[in-house]
Amino acid sequence: MAKLSGFRELDRKLAELSLQAQGKVLRASMRSAMTVAKKAATARAPVGKKLHKTYKGRLVAPGFAKRSLKVGVGKTGLRAVMGVKAEAFYALQFVELGTKRMPKRPWFVPAFHDSQDKIIDMLGKQIAKRIEKIAKAAK
């Protein structure tokens, strides 16, 4: 696990900004930091060999779940969410967790756990970068 260092200084600098600017900095930084985990999950996502239908009946090419990965950031509070589009739920529900007839093949959770140190580092860098940008614009 990465050691959190320098975040007190960033917190102090962040507190000097308006609430609206704080929100923008934090949301943008979280989104950037989570792209690290998204890239790791994309690299590990299983890809089938045949076309298949989604629950909506749409015929999709192999790699549909991989292409469906997304990162979202909450508008209130500080949280980021990573997942797949609803139509690709099977990649997490059935492939990741397994079924009675299919063994589990974890790819999503391990990708996130392996990326945690990089996410924390990226978050600190992005916050510092965005605070610096706002400070320069204010001068």
Contact between 55 and 75 under an 8 Å Cβ cutoff? The reply is no
pLDDT tens-digit readout, 58-110:
999 999 999 999 999 987 767 889 999 999 999 999 999 999 999 999 999 99
**Cα–Cα distance, 69 to 47 (Å, whole number):** 13
* Spatial distance between the Cα atoms of 47 and 59, rounded to a whole number of angstroms: 15
Whole-model pTM?
0.80
Place of tokens 């945690």: 116
